[in-house]
Homo-oligomer: A and B are copies of this chain.
Amino acid sequence: MLPFARVSVIGLGLIGSSIARAVRATMPTVALSGHDADPAVRARVAELGLVDDLADTATAAVTDADLVILCVPPGRIGEVATAIADELPADAIVSDVGSAKVRVLAELVAALPGRKVVPAHPVAGTERSGPDAGFATLFEGRWCIVTPPADADPIAVERISEFWRRLGSQVETMDAAHHDRVLAVTSHLPHLIAYTIVGTASDMEEVTASEVIKYSAGGFRDFTRIAASDPTMWRDVFLSNREAVLEMLQRFTEDLTALQRAIRWGDGDALFDLFTRTRAVRRSILETGQDDPAPDFGRRH
């Protein structure tokens, strides 16, 4: 039996449009409704035929749903939840896909008192944005973390979990605060560092921007992929998960200072020890199937 019969996707960018495509592919009998605040996105979604019922407002998109997934930037979650509150069917479950959960959970619960709120975070994506960037297999083999409130209905949690399993994901449940600390390390700090280094490199005077581009295959280009991710979403992620990000950043800065000192004083052993340890981390990621085992991410040469 399908976990949901009528799914509404609010926000049809990379993630929302991928959910729509994946639902079509894996649960074709589900009735799909959707909305995006951007008229240009709505027009494109209509052309692509991604949903059965494309609504002009978020409110109109949820009237029949038994699952509503908010795929909007974290900074807009509260506002959208407030907008749909009155029209939301009483037994509908509301979820989201954001990368920071504590604040989103609080905002959803505040905007939708007494409703079934079960946030989730599919740890998947690419650096592209918009409805053309989505694809049905985006979530296959990836983890989805469900972060229910402490008093959540266990059946609602199981239905959301089953929904993500149907889309091909493995599902883990954890509390929102722990999620935010884990993702601060595995996602937010890496993005922050990538954005910074790409900014630093493009601000050089003596080394020209064209040299930075030209010789980027030495390592720099890897960072530019992440630093091409959606600016609005990432601004909101950092503002939403401020405390955990700042703490991880503090640890990173301490470690970087130690490495800087090792270079300054020519402590080759300290460098060698760290570089050997980090190599083992890559090995674990490949062994657990969390990255493409081909050299250089399988880039075409």
- Asked whether B255 lies within 8 Å of A290 as measured between CB atoms, the reply is no
In residues 136-150 of chain A, which contact B (Cβ within 8 Å)?
137-138, 140-143, 145
A137 contact set on B, CB distance < 8 A: 301
Q: Is A106 an interface residue (CB 8 A)?
A: no
A85 interface hit (Cβ, 8 Å): no
A263 touches B279 (CB 8 A): no
Chain B residue numbers with a CB within 8 Å of A276 are 231
The docked-state distance in angstroms from the alpha carbon of A75 to that of B232 is 45
Cα distance, A204 to B249, chains bound together (Å): 12
Question: Are A185 and B201 in contact, CB atoms less than 8 angstroms apart?
Answer: yes
Residue-wise, chain A 122-142 has the 8 Å CB interface mask toward B (1 for contact) of 011011100001010110111
Contact A282:B190 (CB < 8 A) given known A232-B272, A296-B127, A299-B298: no
Give bound CA distance, A196 to B238, whole Å. Answer: 21
Extra pairs beyond A182-B212, A191-B219, A231-B271 (11, CB < 8 Å): A138-B301, A185-B220, A195-B274, A196-B252, A196-B259, A197-B252, A214-B290, A224-B291, A225-B296, A231-B279, A296-B297
Minimum CB–CB distance from A211 to chain B (whole Å) comes to: 5
Are B224 and A272 within 8 A (Cβ)?
no
Decide yes or no whether A242 CB sits under 8 A from chain B: yes
Is there a chain B Cβ closer than 8 Å to A206's Cβ? yes
Asked if A185 and B213 make an inter-chain contact with CB atoms under 8 angstroms apart, the answer reads no
Q: Which 6 interchain pairs have the tightest Cβ spacing?
A: A187-B218, A231-B275, A228-B282, A190-B219, A126-B295, A227-B278
Write out, one digit per residue, whether chain A residues 44-66 have a CB within 8 A of any chain B CB (1) or not (0): 00000000000000000000000
Query: Which residues of B are found within 8 Å of A41, using beta-carbon distances?
Result: none
User: Which of B185, B216, B232 is A291 in contact with, Cβ under 8 Å?
Assistant: B216
**Contact A271 B235, CB 8 Å, known A181-B206, A207-B185, A298-B298:** yes
Residues of B within 8 A of A193 (CB): 193, 197, 223, 256
Q: Does A281 make an interface contact (CB < 8 A)?
A: yes
